Structure 1
C-alpha cells in the first residue's frame, strides 16, 4: 500500500508523506472550561508538534523553520468519536487548586474546597490520515530521518496517543494535491474489505467489488482558499503559547485503492466509477 520514495524535485522542493494512524488520536484546537475537543482531522499545530518532537526541539524552540511548511491532510479512514469521562484528584488527598493564579504566580485554592475535578475529553478511534508536508527538500529529508529515529516520543495530538507504524511514507515530488492524489489508500485491511463488500451489495452482487479508485476528502493549505483554520502555532512554549490562522481549500480526491486485483466490469456502474459518494467520508 505504500509507494516507494522518490528523490526530491530539481527545484529543491519536495513533499513528505506521513501516515497518521493509531488506536486513538486527538487534534484539539481549543479547550473550553472542562472540555477537551478534537478536530475531525489533524491540525497544523499537531503535525508540526510531532515533527518538532522528532527533531528534538524543546517546547520553547523557535518555529521559524517549520512554520513556512504547507500542510495537506487526506481522510483515508475517519474513525469514530470517543467521549472519555475523566476525573482528576490529588493522590495526597489535598483540595485541588483553581486555574487562577495569585500575583506571585501561585495557583489559588478552590473555595469551597474541591477534591475531584471532572473533565470531558474527546478522541478519534481507529482513524487513518495521510498528511502531506511541502517545503525545502533538504529540510524535509532531515525531518523524514527524524521521524524514523525520533529524539522524543511521538504522539497523535496528545501524549496518550502513540502512532502505529509505518509513520513515514517517504518523500515525493510534485505539489501537495498531486502527492495526496497519487498515494494509495492507507485504510486498514478490515476497512478496505468492508468497503468492497458494501459496494458489492449496493450493486446487487453476492461478492465484493474491488474498484481501482475511491473518493477521499482532503484539506489543503492554500493562500487563496475559501476557508480559515486557526491552528498555526506561533509558539509551543507553555508560558507563551499562541496561534494564528491559515487559509485552506477542501477537495474530493480520486485516489488508487491499492487492491491487488481490481474489477474492471460489473453489473451496474463501472467498478472504478469515481462519482461523488456523499456518505464516503462516514466510512459507510
Structure 2
C-alpha cells in the first residue's frame, strides 16, 4: 500500500487517572508508563460499537505510535473486596462450565493493589488505510460505547479526537503541537517560552530493538489473548505552542518555587 493510501488518526489521551496494564498477577494490577496497544485498540473498538466477541484483526493491524506529552505520576490504590452479604468470596478460577467455586478455606476479604497514572497526557497516533482511519475518526467523535483510558473507571477529558493527517506516523506526531495541561504550560513559560520541546515517543517498528507484549489477538472473555510486537523508542522535536519567545524570561528575578518545578 502506497503512502498516499495511508492516513493517521491522532488521539489526545488525558484525564485525572489512566491505567494501561499489560499483565495482572493475583492481587496486583499494574500500569505501564504509557498507553498499550491493547488499550488503544480497545478504545477504538468501543468507539466503533464492536462487541467483545468481535474480530479485531483489522484494528490490531494498525500501526501505533505514542508520544509522552506529560508523564504524570504513579498512584497506588489500596483496594479491598468483600461480599456485602457476608458470604465467602469465590475463587478466581472457573470450572469447565464457567462456574466459580467458593474459596476453601473461606476467605471473606480480598486485598488488592491497583496502580494508576495521574495527570498524564499522551498523544497516540494510529496509522492505516485511509478509509479505515476516516471511519475510526468519525467513530471516536461519536462513540457507540463510553471510552476509557485503560480501565472503565478512567474517564478521558476532551478533546480526544485531534483529527486525521495525510502523512506518516512519525511526521504526524512530530508536527502536532504540544498537548499539555495549562499548569505545565505556565510552568514551562518561565523557561523562556521556547518554540519547541523535546518529547519521548514509542513507535511500532518490525526492526525495533525492544518488545512489548500488548498486541491484542482477541477480547473475547472465553479466549482472550495477546502476543508480542517490536517497538523502538525515540525523541521528537515538537512545536510548543509558544509563538513569541521571551528573551527576558531569565532576567525576571528569583523564583522561590523553581526548585519545586512549579
Q: Compute the TM-score of the two structures, normalised by the length of structure 1.
A: 0.85
Matched, 1:98 2:91: yes
3-state SS of paired residue (1:157): coil
- The separation in 1 between residues aligned to 2:98 and 2:168, in whole angstroms, is 47
Please identify, of 73-82 and 255-264, the stretch whose mean Cα deviation from structure 2 is larger. Answer: 255-264
- The separation in 2 between residues aligned to 1:104 and 1:222, in whole angstroms, is 41
Partner of 1:138: 131
Q: Which runs of 5+ in 1 are unaligned?
A: 1-8, 200-208, 269-282
User: What count of residue pairs does the alignment treat as equivalent?
Assistant: 252
Give the one of 12, 31, 53 matched to 1:19: 12
Q: Compute the TM-score of the two structures, normalised by the length of structure 2.
A: 0.92
- The separation in 1 between residues aligned to 2:219 and 2:96, in whole angstroms, is 24
Matched, 1:82 2:75: yes
- Spell out, residue by residue over 1:63-120, the C-alpha distance to the aligned partner (whole angstroms, 9 max, x if none): 1211210000000000010000011111111110111334543212112211111110
Partner of 2:59: 66
> Superposition RMSD on alpha carbons, in Å?
1.8
Partner of 1:129: 122
Runs of 4+ in 1 over 3 A off after TM superposition: 102-105, 263-268
2:4, 2:166 within 8 Å by CA — same for their partners in 1?
A: no
Q: Quick check: which one's strand share is greater? A: 2
- The separation in 2 between residues aligned to 1:266 and 1:102, in whole angstroms, is 66
- The separation in 1 between residues aligned to 2:58 and 2:250, in whole angstroms, is 53
1:158-169 matches, within 5 Å, as: 158-169=151-162
- Spell out, residue by residue over 1:188-231, the C-alpha distance to the aligned partner (whole angstroms, 9 max, x if none): 1111111232x3xxxxxxxxx10000100000001111111110
1:212, 1:263 within 8 Å by CA — same for their partners in 2?
A: no
3-state SS of paired residue (2:148): coil
